[in-house]
Amino acid sequence: MTALNTQKTEQQAPFKEYPNNVLYRYFDQSSGQQFELRKLDMEQHLDLFHHWHNQKYVYEFWELNQSKEELQDYLTQLFQQDFVEPVIGYIDDTPCAYFEIYWAYYDHIAPYCDATLYDRGYHLLIGDKRFLGHHNTTLWLNLVNDFIFKDEPRTQRIVGEPRADNSGLLKYLEHTSFVKTKEFDFPHKRAALLECYREQFYREVTL
């Protein structure tokens, strides 16, 4: 572990521990569904992770349509990094979504957003088509933001960097507190920088 990562470990709160790897739980009154964020478990979730990433509407943007062995190596590398947490989203005990929640200061997005120590970010996909749609997608965005802000009170900003042509995701921004602030070029894609600030989020979003 580098000195920089040691500093982060000392200053930043770890992900909270709950029974059965549950990180966050929310009951949606409008749909009568329970949403949960759980830590990804390699043995439990690898087959599902492989299936999700080999669907065209997913790999069009994630570009991880690989073999199970390759995706196992991908997840193993994530587990070895202390600035990112692979998370599975559940609705009514059914796994349906995937999130990579990270500390932006240590991620490749850092120089593009002037990341500070407690900024966070995440990547997401909804892998089960039965759970696609406006309500679930918008709610997931707001719930993950709520989890991140509650997990670390010093986090004031959440960032994202989806592909700039990912209109399927970007159309939901008006129903969240994310704002697209610019576009920029990663080596592998043209990206949109999204930002969500704590004060604005809790002023605009009621959960």
Q: Compute, in degrees rounded to 10, the torsion defined by CA atoms 56, 102, 89, 46.
A: 60
Judge whether 157 and 198 are in contact, CB under 8 Å. Answer: yes
Helices 68-79 and 42-53: crossing angle in degrees, nearest 10, is 120
The single residue of 161, 174, 195, 199 carrying the catalytic annotation is 161
Judge whether 155 and 118 are in contact, CB under 8 Å. Answer: yes
Check if 183 is active-site: no
Q: CA-CA distance, 115 to 108, in Å (whole number)?
A: 10
Q: CA-CA distance, 127 to 56, in Å (whole number)?
A: 11
| SS3 category, 172 | coil
Q: CA gyration radius for the chain?
A: 16
Closest Cα to residue 48, out of 102, 99, 101, 97?
97
Residues in the chain: 207
- Catalytic residue set: 161
